[in-house]
C-alpha cells in the first residue's frame, strides 16, 4: 500500500501519513460526486452560499488545532495565526457577489421572445491545492465552485496532508452533503489516470510549472477545462516612493512565510537615486528576523517547508555569488540555520539576469536588488522573465504607474503594495505562470459554462 507522508520541517520526522486511495475507490468517490451534483445544483443559490459560509465559520472554530498543525506541516510560525484573515475575506467576498456573478445575461424579454445567457455549473470540479497557503489557495476555487452548483473533489499536497481532511470535515459538520465536497488522498499515478479518463469537468491546479505540464498531458484529448496557477518570479520597481513604506512592504513580500508565496517579491529594481538608501534600509529590516521553531511565539521566521526547498535557495544563492553577486546579510545573525530546512534570509546585490537567481523561481527568503537608470530599463528587466503573476510599482504618480503597468507582461499590477490577493479582482497569470483565473466575477465564470436560451413565445 502506498503511503502519503508529511515530513515536518520542524524536526524532520514524519508528522502525518495517510494511505493513498486505490484507483477503483477513487473512481467510486468521483461517481458519488457526479450523482450528487444535480441535486446540489437544484438547491437555491442562497442556500448553497449559506452552507459554504457555515463551513467557513466551522473551520474558524478549529483555530486552536489548525494553527499548530500548519506549523508542524509547513513551518509557518504560530504567531501569525494561520490563514484565517485571507480565508475569510475571500469566502465572504465571493459570497457577496455570487448572485450578480451567476445571474443570467438577458438580451431580450418581450412579448415575443426571451433571449438570455445563463451560467451552468461544470459538474465535478477537481481542486489540486499546494502546501504554501493550503487553506487560502484551496478556498479560492472551493467556495465559488460549490456556490455555483458544482461538486468538488479536493486533493492536497503531501506536505499539508491534513488540510483537505480538516477543511472537508468542517464543511460537512456545517451541513454540506458528504458527496458534494470530498477530500481524497491520491498519488500521482491515480491522479493522472482519473484526469485521463475525463473523470472531472474542470480542474484547478496550483503548483509548479512541471506539475502544470503533467496536468495538461494527462488531460490531453479530454477537452477538460483547466485553471493553472504555476511559477512566478515577481518583480518590484522603486521609483519615487516613500522609501520606508517600500522597504517594509517589499522586504515583507520577499521573506514572509519564508519566501514561500506565489506572489512573493523575488527581484527588485531601484532607481539609482534611491538605490543606496533602499539597500541599507532593506538589510536592516531583514536582519531583525528571528529564525527558529515555528511553535515558539517569539519566532518570526520559521523553517522552509522541506529541506529540499531550502537546498534550491542555497544553490541559487551560491551560484549567484560565484558569478559576482554580494550577500549582505551576515550569517552569524542566524545561528539557527542548520543547513537543512532552517534557512537564514538573504539580500543579494551586484546581481544580473545572467544568474539563475534572477531568472528562475527561488521560492525562499532571498531577494536580489538591482540599480536602474530609467523606467524603460526597469520595464525591460521586469519583462525579462518566463513568468508573469504580479508586479509591484512604487511611485507617488498614479499615471506613471498606469503607463508602466500597460507595458508589463503580468497578471496583476500593484502600486505601493505587494504580495496581496484582492478577491474583487481576477487572480491570473501570463506566460509560464499559467492560464485561467480565480475569484472576482470572472472566477465564477471560469467555474461555470454559458448556456443560451432563445425562447420564441409565439408561433405565428
* Residues classed as catalytic: 229, 262
371 bridge partner residues: 270
SS3 439: coil
Q: Can you tell me the distance from the alpha carbon of 10 to that of 258, in angstroms, rounded to the nearest whole number? A: 13
Residue 380: which H helix or E strand, with range?
helix 375-383
Give the CA diameter of the chain. Answer: 88
> Do 98 and 444 touch, CB atoms closer than 8 A?
yes
Q: Which residues contact 448 (CB under 8 A, 6 or more apart)?
A: 102, 119, 120, 121, 122, 148, 149
> Do 261 and 229 touch, CB atoms closer than 8 A?
no
CA atoms within 13 A on the CB side of 136: 19
SS3 129: strand
> Do 365 and 259 touch, CB atoms closer than 8 A?
yes
Q: What is the bridge-based pairing of β-strands 113-121 and 105-109?
A: antiparallel
What is the chain's Cα-based Rg? 23
- Beta strand residue intervals within 242-343, DSSP E: 265-271, 326-327
Q: Can you tell me the distance from the alpha carbon of 178 to that of 363, in angstroms, rounded to the nearest whole number? A: 35
Q: What is the bridge-based pairing of β-strands 366-372 and 390-394?
A: unpaired
Q: What is the bridge-based pairing of β-strands 225-229 and 434-435?
A: antiparallel
Q: Render the burial of 4-28: b for 16+ CB within 10 Å, e for the rest.
A: bebbbbbeeeebbebebbebeebbe
> Do 369 and 349 touch, CB atoms closer than 8 A?
yes
Q: Can you tell me the distance from the alpha carbon of 249 to that of 264, in angstroms, rounded to the nearest whole number? A: 11
Amino acid at each position: 500500500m502506498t503511503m502519503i507522508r508529511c515530513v515536518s520541517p520542524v524536526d524532520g520526522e514524519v508528522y502525518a501519513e495517510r494511505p493513498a486511495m486505490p484507483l477503483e475507490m477513487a473512481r467510486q468517490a468521483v461517481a458519488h460526486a457526479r450523482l450528487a451534483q444535480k441535486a446540489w445544483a437544484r438547491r437555491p443559490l442562497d442556500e448553497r452560499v449559506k452552507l459554504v459560509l457555515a463551513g467557513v465559520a466551522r473551520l474558524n472554530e478549529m483555530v486552536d488545532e489548525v494553527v499548530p498543525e500548519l506549523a508542524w506541516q509547513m513551518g509557518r510560525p504560530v504567531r501569525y495565526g494561520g490563514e484565517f484573515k485571507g480565508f475569510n475575506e475571500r469566502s465572504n467576498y465571493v459570497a457577496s457577489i455570487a448572485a450578480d456573478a451567476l445571474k443570467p445575461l438577458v438580451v431580450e424579454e418581450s412579448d415575443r421572445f426571451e433571449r438570455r445567457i445563463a451560467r451552468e455549473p461544470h459538474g465535478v470540479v477537481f481542486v489540486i491545492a499546494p502546501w504554501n497557503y493550503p487553506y487560502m489557495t484551496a478556498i479560492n476555487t472551493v467556495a465559488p465552485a460549490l456556490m455555483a452548483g458544482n461538486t468538488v473533489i479536493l486533493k492536497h499536497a503531501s506536505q499539508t496532508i491534513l488540510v483537505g481532511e480538516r477543511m472537508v470535515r468542517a464543511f460537512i459538520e456545517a451541513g454540506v452533503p458528504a458527496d458534494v465536497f470530498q477530500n481524497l488522498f491520491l498519488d500521482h499515478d491515480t491522479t493522472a489516470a482519473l484526469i485521463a479518463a475525463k473523470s472531472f469537468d474542470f480542474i484547478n491546479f496550483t503548483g509548479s510549472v512541471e506539475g502544470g505540464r503533467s496536468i495538461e498531458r494527462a488531460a490531453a484529448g479530454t477537452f477538460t477545462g483547466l485553471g493553472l496557477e504555476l511559477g512566478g518570479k515577481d518583480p518590484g520597481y522603486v521609483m519615487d516612493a516613500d522609501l520606508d513604506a517600500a522597504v517594509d512592504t517589499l522586504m515583507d513580500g520577499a521573506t514572509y512565510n519564508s519566501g514561500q508565496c506565489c506572489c512573493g517579491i523575488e527581484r527588485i529594481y531601484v532607481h539609482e537615486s534611491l538605490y543606496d538608501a533602499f539597500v541599507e534600509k532593506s538589510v536592516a529590516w531583514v536582519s531583525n528576523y528571528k529564525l527558529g521553531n515555528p511553535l515558539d511565539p517569539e519566532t518570526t521566521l520559521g523553517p522552509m517547508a522541506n529541506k529540499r526547498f531550502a537546498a534550491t535557495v542555497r544553490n541559487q544563492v551560491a551560484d549567484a555569488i560565484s558569478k559576482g553577486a554580494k550577500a549582505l546579510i551576515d550569517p552569524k545573525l542566524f545561528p539557527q540555520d542548520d543547513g537543512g530546512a532552517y534557512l537564514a534570509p538573504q539580500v543579494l546585490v551586484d546581481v544580473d539576469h545572467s544568474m539563475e537567481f534572477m531568472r528562475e523561481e527561488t521560492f525562499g527568503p532571498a531577494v536580489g536588488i538591482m540599480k536602474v537608470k530609467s523606467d524603460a530599463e526597469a520595464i525591460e528587466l521586469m519583462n525579462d522573465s518566463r513568468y508573469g503573476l504580479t508586479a509591484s510599482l512604487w511611485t507617488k504618480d498614479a499615471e506613471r504607474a498606469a503607463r508602466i503597468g500597460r507595458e508589463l507582461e503580468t497578471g496583476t499590477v500593484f502600486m505601493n503594495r505587494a504580495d496581496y490577493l484582492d478577491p474583487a479582482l481576477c487572480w491570473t497569470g501570463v506566460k509560464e505562470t499559467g492560464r485561467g483565473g480565480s475569484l472576482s466575477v470572472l472566477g465564477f465564470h471560469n467555474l461555470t459554462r454559458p448556456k443560451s436560451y432563445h425562447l420564441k413565445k409565439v408561433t405565428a
